[in-house]
Structures are given as structure tokens and as C-alpha cells.
């Protein structure tokens, strides 16, 4: 038995089983969320077309590897608890906009008899600088039609640095204007 050959074979096998130490490490998903009050982040005078369509806007900063994605003019009940979450499903970034009735002191739930436009925004950190897949979901907990409903799905080419997507081109002046 050639001990030298066995030793070389064992070293080769142990190196192969450990993997290549130069593999790219995937950083964990990190994000910050922001939600507007009724009326959106900006005043309607700054955006005369605000009530004309629900528009998702995005901007990518290559230096910080940060993607800012906002969904603007989402029509929801004025009284609600709002939140936004992001999870990564493989290569897809699933952004979920949440809306639930407000909780009352007696443990019940309540809604108003009015509708308001809201803006949801998420700042995703450590993003790749090429094509990313986005799935935008809306979860209105007291409306079966909108329970984790798909709002938009597609890709963003982050090399373009910014863009807009029309989510719903139905004007809603009746519930959006002052």
C-alpha cells in the first residue's frame, strides 16, 4: 500500500468536502419601512396627478446597494392599522402591504365610513445591482378579495437606477381630493 498516495487522496477529499472558501456569501435581508398618513407622503399640490393612478416608484443607489420601492396612492379605509413587510422567497422579494381594522378598547374592531389614499415605502439594503424580481401583495384582513392578493409582479432592472410602474390607472378623485 502506498501511504503517500493515500495521504494525497485524503487531503484532496477533505478539501473538496469543505467547499471553495471564495464562495459569495449572501447577506441577510434588511429593510426599513415607512407608511404615510392619509393623503400620502407629499401634498397633492406637489403632485397634481396623485389621484389619477396608483403608481409604484423605485430608485436604486449603486454605492449603498439600496433599493427604495414605494407604492403611491393606495386607496384604503381611513381607519386602519397599516404595516409593510418584506420576505425573500428564493430570488423573489415579496413585499406585503397590510391593512387591518383598528382595535377598540373593548377588544373589538372598527372602521370608518371614509376612504383615504396612503403611500407605503420600503428601503431594501444589500441588494444585488442587476435584475431583481418583485412580488407586491396586499393583505386587507377584513376583505376576502384582498387577503394576500397579488397586486403586481415583475422585474426591476436596477442598472437603470429608477423607474415607475402603473399599478392601477383608475382615477379616484371622489375619495382622493380635498
Q: What is the pLDDT of residues 121-171, one digit of tens each?
A: 999 999 987 999 999 999 999 998 899 999 999 999 999 999 999 999 988
Beta carbons within 10 angstroms of residue 168's beta carbon:
14
pLDDT in tens, 74-132: 999 999 999 999 999 999 999 999 999 998 899 889 999 988 999 999 999 999 879 99
Indicate the helix (H) or strand (E) that contains 10: helix 3-18
Mean pLDDT of 46-54: 80
Flag whether the pTM goes above 0.85.
Answer: no
Mean pLDDT of 26-52: 80
CA 145 – CA 107 distance, rounded (Å): 25
Does the pLDDT value for residue 72 go beyond 80?
Answer: yes
CB 127 within 8 Å of CB 65: yes
Q: Which three cell numbers stand for residue 174?
A: 371622489
CA 135 – CA 149 distance, rounded (Å): 10
- The reported pLDDT for the residue numbered 7 is 44
Residues forming a β-bridge with 71: 56, 120
Q: Is residue 48 very low, low, confident or very high in pLDDT (cuts 50, 70, 90)?
A: confident
Q: Which three cell numbers stand for residue 65?
A: 446597494
- The reported pLDDT for the residue numbered 6 is 40
CA 178 – CA 161 distance, rounded (Å): 33
Q: Is residue 43 very low, low, confident or very high in pLDDT (cuts 50, 70, 90)?
A: low
Amino acid at each position: 500500500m502506498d501511504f503517500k498516495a493515500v495521504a494525497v487522496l485524503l487531503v484532496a477529499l477533505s478539501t473538496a468536502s469543505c467547499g471553495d472558501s471564495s464562495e459569495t456569501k449572501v447577506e441577510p435581508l434588511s429593510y426599513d419601512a415607512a407608511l404615510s398618513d392619509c393623503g400620502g407622503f407629499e401634498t397633492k399640490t406637489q403632485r397634481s396627478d396623485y389621484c389619477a393612478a396608483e403608481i409604484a416608484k423605485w430608485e436604486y443607489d449603486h454605492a449603498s446597494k439600496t433599493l427604495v420601492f414605494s407604492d403611491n396612492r393606495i386607496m384604503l379605509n381611513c381607519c386602519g392599522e397599516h404595516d409593510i413587510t418584506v420576505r425573500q422567497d428564493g430570488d423573489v422579494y415579496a413585499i406585503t402591504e397590510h391593512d387591518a381594522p383598528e382595535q377598540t378598547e373593548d377588544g373589538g374592531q372598527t372602521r370608518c365610513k371614509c376612504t383615504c389614499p396612503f403611500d407605503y415605502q420600503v428601503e431594501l439594503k444589500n441588494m444585488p445591482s442587476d435584475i431583481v424580481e418583485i412580488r407586491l401583495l396586499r393583505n386587507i384582513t377584513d376583505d376576502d378579495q384582498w387577503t394576500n392578493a397579488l397586486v403586481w409582479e415583475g422585474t426591476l432592472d436596477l442598472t437603470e437606477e429608477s423607474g415607475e410602474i402603473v399599478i392601477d390607472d383608475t382615477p379616484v378623485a371622489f375619495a382622493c381630493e380635498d
